């Protein structure tokens, strides 16, 4: 058998998600995972890539309990979710910490495509003097986001907003020191909105993109061109390969400093 999987949850109760690129019998794989990891109470099988407006995968219960709601512990943050109804990657905990470490005291931070709140919560935990707003279109994820703000006692520092960023974010234009866009496949469609949400003089943008060897180059062109249209100059602060999708295909992040051009 050949397979890879994620474990989401805690030492008491977790769910395993078998990735699509498996070889072998799913039931036998599930049995092996549960034998090795006693905290895994349910095993789900990934049956599609992320798709649709809510970017969800089709997951089928292969073995174990129908109750797949868990509380995932990440750097002292409790993240409640059900992976059947929301998207969450436990593999990106370190990446969320990298972003959180860049936030300065007193910053206003926007997280687009916020999911159940892992980026927003990571920022607020690492930088208690920041104020974070997260926007999420999936109503189930939004409800978990609200619950996660409550269980981590972050009311007043983190705010969850339900809706499509294109509909919701115009009310936030000119408000933020920093915008995070953790949706690699389609984030570029919303670059105009993200840049307009930065403060009038500019700010920092964390842009995620998906591609091959030229992913960084393409990401930088997309941001530079959109910034130019809106009257900003852009400077690359950092480039990072976050994770691998397949051979020669990566999720990358490019961080930009955007500054309003003086006329």
DSSP assignment of 43-93 = EEEE-S-SBTTTTBPPEEEEEE-S---EEEEETTEEEEE-TTTS---GGGH
What are the φ/ψ torsions at residue 105 (nearest 5 degrees)? -55, 140
State the pLDDT confidence band at 245, using cuts at 50, 70 and 90. Answer: confident
* CB-count exposure of residue 248 (10 Å: 0-12, 13-18, 19+): exposed
Predicted pLDDT at 246: 73
d(CA 241, CA 251): 6
State the pLDDT confidence band at 184, using cuts at 50, 70 and 90. Answer: confident
Predicted pLDDT at 55: 64
d(CA 77, CA 92): 14
Quickly count: other Cβ atoms within 10 Å of residue 27's Cβ.
12
pLDDT of 97 > 60? The answer is yes
- Burial call 44-82: b when 16+ CB within 10 Å, e when fewer: bbbeeeeeeebbbbebeebbbeeebbbbbebeebebbbb
CA dihedral of residues 161, 165, 166, 170 (deg, nearest 10): 50
Quickly count: other Cβ atoms within 10 Å of residue 207's Cβ.
25
- Residue carrying structure tokens 């469609």: 189
Per mean pLDDT, which range of 19-23, 59-63, 158-162 is the poorest? 19-23
**HSE (side-chain half, CA atoms, 13 Å) at 185:** 9
pLDDT in tens, 251-260: 999 999 999 9
- Laid out side by side, the sheet with 59-64 consists of 5-9, 14-18, 40-46, 59-64
State the pLDDT confidence band at 171, using cuts at 50, 70 and 90. Answer: very high
CA 47 to chain CA centroid, nearest Å? 21
Q: By percentage, how much of the chain surpasses pLDDT 70?
A: 97
Say what angle helices 118-126 and 139-151 make with each other, to 10 degrees.
Answer: 20
């Amino acid at each position: 058998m050949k397979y890879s999987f994620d474990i989401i949850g805690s030492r008491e109760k977790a769910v395993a998600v078998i990735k699509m690129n498996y070889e072998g019998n799913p039931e036998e794989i599930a049995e092996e995972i549960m034998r090795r990891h006693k905290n895994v109470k349910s095993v789900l099988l990934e049956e599609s890539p992320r798709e649709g407006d809510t970017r969800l995968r089709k997951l089928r219960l292969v073995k174990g309990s129908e109750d797949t709601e868990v509380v995932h512990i990440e750097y002292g943050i409790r993240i409640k979710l059900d992976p059947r109804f929301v998207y969450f990657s436990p593999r990106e905990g370190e990446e969320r910490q990298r972003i959180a470490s860049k936030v300065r005291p007193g910053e206003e931070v926007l997280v687009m495509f916020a999911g159940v709140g892992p980026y927003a919560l990571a920022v607020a935990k690492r930088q208690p003097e920041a104020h974070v707003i997260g926007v999420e279109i999936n109503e189930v994820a939004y409800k978990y986001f609200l619950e996660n703000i409550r269980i981590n006692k972050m009311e007043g520092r983190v705010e969850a907003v339900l809706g499509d960023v294109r509909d919701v974010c115009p009310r936030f234009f000119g408000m933020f020191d920093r915008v995070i866009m953790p949706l690699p496949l389609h984030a570029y469609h919303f670059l105009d909105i993200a840049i307009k949400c930065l403060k009038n003089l500019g700010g920092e943008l964390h842009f995620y993109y998906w591609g091959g060897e030229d992913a960084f180059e393409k990401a930088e062109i997309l941001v530079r061109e959109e910034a130019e249209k809106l009257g900003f100059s852009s400077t690359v602060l950092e480039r990072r390969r976050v994770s691998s999708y397949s051979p020669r295909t990566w999720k990358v992040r490019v961080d930009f400093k955007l500054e309003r051009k003086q006329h």
